[in-house]
Structure 1
């Protein structure tokens, strides 16, 4: 059996959970697997592959968070999200708080807490917004820039771990797919349009 096939089976085993009171058995697992892969009598292959893609994207987010906690242990940064905020400011320069939060795909309340934490640590500073006197811009402080540079030495090897055994060609292909998904989801997230979301949801009901 190929290594990739073994890893796939391990992924399925990790995702499988017996019903309460049900004993783990090859037969029960086989029936569950048929449903997941669209091979059951009442299965829809199209809907199952969408579900499996969503599940594995969730797995990848969990793996990244798992590794990130270890990479930043002992660091001045709290999490991978803190690094992402600083990296965004490093690339984009001064931004409004809302734009910074949007750029990192976070809810406003969660993103505001990240900004407050980075400000307390003096990794970012604020300045007046020349286009809006009521608003403030946030930007990297010198301390934040130094912390970011140190953190980059941890993050870049982490990226190599997360992409695993993918070849360069596979990485390019995966990046194009993820960018396409991002282009689809970003406007929905930015608009915070619940009506549009539920309209899409109803369109995709079986």
Structure 2
């Protein structure tokens, strides 16, 4: 966009802003806030290139794409380590930070579905990355912990995983990364309690949570 076209747009937007403000104070700060809201509303009404439906559908689509990109980078980073999948590494990293925990708790910390989580645990046990032992507080259950082999390999994996994480962040500035992280945490705070309830009926989930 040429500079005079940008100036023309700014003049037009300033005129619209002044008209909307009526008798209220007109300042750079108030114009900046108005412009930010105006642009957000404009973006929200655009035709979206992936789904062509709504901003919500587009968000879901892009989150899915980011997950796939992340998986590719993680798999490449861990190619010389004994982790069959990115989730193998993630489960191991959780155990490394949390210490000994039960299978269900480990799966929940990862917000993973139970059957897939159990497959990850079986694979890690088979590959001697983790081991299970009797729970001293409940003899009927068992806890999981890293083996020496698992601890050595997860430490090696951290530096490689960090390279993958940097790729996932792309060219985002530090400020953009912080903003994105806050947004993702807000979404996680919303979804994690729903995950813990294990409700399968989407209509019931929507009825209970959509208007919060």
- What TM-score does the superposition give when structure 1 sets the normalisation length? 0.73
Alignment of 1:147 onto 2:153: yes
- Between the aligned partners of 1:200 and 1:145, the Cα distance in structure 2 is 39
Change in 2 beyond 3 A, CA 1:187/1:202: closer
Aligned pairs for 1:165-204 within 5 A: 165-195=171-201, 197-201=202-206
Q: How much is the aligned-residue C-alpha RMSD, in angstroms?
A: 2.2
5+ residue gaps, structure 2, are: 2-42
- Determine helix, strand or coil for the equivalent of 2:54: helix
2:137 and 2:183 mapped to 1: Cα distance? 37
1:78 match: secondary structure = coil
Q: How many residues align?
A: 164
Measured after TM superposition, the shift of residue 158 of structure 1 is: 0.7
Following superposition, the deviation at residue 60 of structure 1 comes to: 0.3
Structure 1 residue runs of 4 or more that deviate by more than 6 Å after TM superposition: none
TM (norm. structure 2) is: 0.71
Instruction: Judge conservation of contact 2:134–2:143 (CA < 8 Å) in 1.
Output: yes
Larger Rg: 2
Structure 1 counterpart of 2:167: 161
Distance 1:61 1:110 in 2: 17
